[in-house]
Amino acid sequence: MKKVLVYYPFQLAENANSGSKVRPHEMLKAFKQWGEKEQVEIICIHGNTVEREKQFKQLSQQGVLEDLWFCYMENQTIPLWLTDPGHKPARPLVDREILSFLKRKKVPVGIFYRDVYWKFDELYPLKGIKKFIMKSIYRFEEKFYEKYMDTIFLPSNEMGAYVDINRPMTELPPGGKNTGEYHNYDSKKPYQGLYVGGINNEDYGLYLLLDAIEKVNKSEQLCNLTVVCREDEYQSLPQDKRSRIEQLKVTVKHISGAKLDDLYKEMDFAFIPRYRNEYYDFSVPVKLVEYLSAGLPIVATDCTSQKHFIESGQYGAICKDEKESMAEAINNMIANKEQYAKNIKETFMAKHSWLARVEKVKNTLIKEVL
């Protein structure tokens, strides 16, 4: 039986409440599903540095790590040497030991390189000497991966322009989950639109969306909007923002998990109204695949990566980050939502499930012999 190593140089989160925490769990689950189907044994090493060292030594002594087919790895948004509690590595050399072993054994290794937010001064919060030290560690991490990796997997191809690792790169965006047919084909006016996300930053585009919704509803009420956000963000909004939301009769909810899944079933389409900028052009919001997993077509701004993703399957309507363009896209969505929903049902899971992501990892690291 062939064997594959999944290597996570960090502790898996018990409460996976963000995209960066969800992804390792979903990829591991998909690897196990794929392994059962293809008769491949999946071995996983994860945890803090002490735990990883212990697991590696035990598996090595047992001979389990001999003749590995390939290895899939992920990093976090902090350098891999700082993932222990308190960012103090008890065994700082364990990752080099494991990756050196794989290199000696000629095992193909690919890493999902999660983010480069630290390269953007407006996004990276540290200042002064701390910032200089951390950026130096991040740059060293890139060179470390250049030495040991065969392939760099990225959230989008566009992010590759910001990654200084001289290795082949390919995109591996978030995957979709088969959650059922949630959209309502028989919906009537006014149609139900959904925004899930932050509301305390203009870049997120909620207030642009409000302006567009107001324009669409000028003659008649065509679209109702529901906003799902954190309660503390809503309570801390300036009064003029709160009044704007109330004026347009927006429904505001503070829910997650199963309650949010149930809400998806009541919606006709969803919104990603982010203002376009350099960072958003290559980032892929987790909500994009979450909406599509629920069968919801999307109205989104033309940030490059999300635009390419949506247009690749005709899963929604794209607009500029302007009121008139967004209003036009909403009208487009109202007119064509059944076709967009049909496209999602027919191709989304086949192309973009977590299992499809695992298949891509395998096909990338193991060059098929034709």
* Per-residue pLDDT at 180: 61
* Per-residue pLDDT at 181: 55
* Per-residue pLDDT at 370: 31
What residue segments make up the domains of the chain, in order of their start? 2-175+353-365, 191-351
Query: Shortest CA distance to 104 belongs to which of 142, 60, 41?
Result: 60
* Per-residue pLDDT at 20: 64
pLDDT at 200 over 80: yes
Least confident of 126-140, 167-181, 202-216, 294-308: 167-181
* Per-residue pLDDT at 184: 55
Query: Shortest CA distance to 153 belongs to which of 70, 41, 264, 263?
Result: 70
Note the pTM of the prediction, 2 decimals. Answer: 0.92
SS3 content of the chain, % helix, strand, coil (to 5): 50, 15, 35
Over residues 348-360, the pLDDT tens digits come to 999 999 999 999 9
The CATH T-level fold of domain 2-175+353-365 is Rossmann fold (3.40.50)
In which order are the strands placed within the sheet that holds 2-7? 40-45, 2-7, 68-74, 109-112, 151-154, 169-171
pLDDT at 199 over 60: yes
Over residues 184-197, the pLDDT tens digits come to 556 678 999 999 99
Q: What percent of the chain has pLDDT over 90?
A: 89
Over residues 279-322, the pLDDT tens digits come to 999 999 989 999 999 999 999 999 999 999 999 999 999 999 99
Amino acid at 246: E
* Per-residue pLDDT at 183: 55
Same topology, domains 2-175+353-365 and 191-351? Answer is yes
Over residues 55-97, the pLDDT tens digits come to 999 999 999 999 999 999 999 999 999 999 999 999 999 999 9
Query: Shortest CA distance to 155 belongs to which of 290, 355, 357?
Result: 357
The CATH T-level fold of domain 191-351 is Rossmann fold (3.40.50)
Compute the mean pLDDT over every residue in the chain, rounded to the nearest whole number: 93
For residue 335, the Cα-to-chain-centroid distance in whole angstroms is 29
Q: What percent of the chain has pLDDT over 70?
A: 95
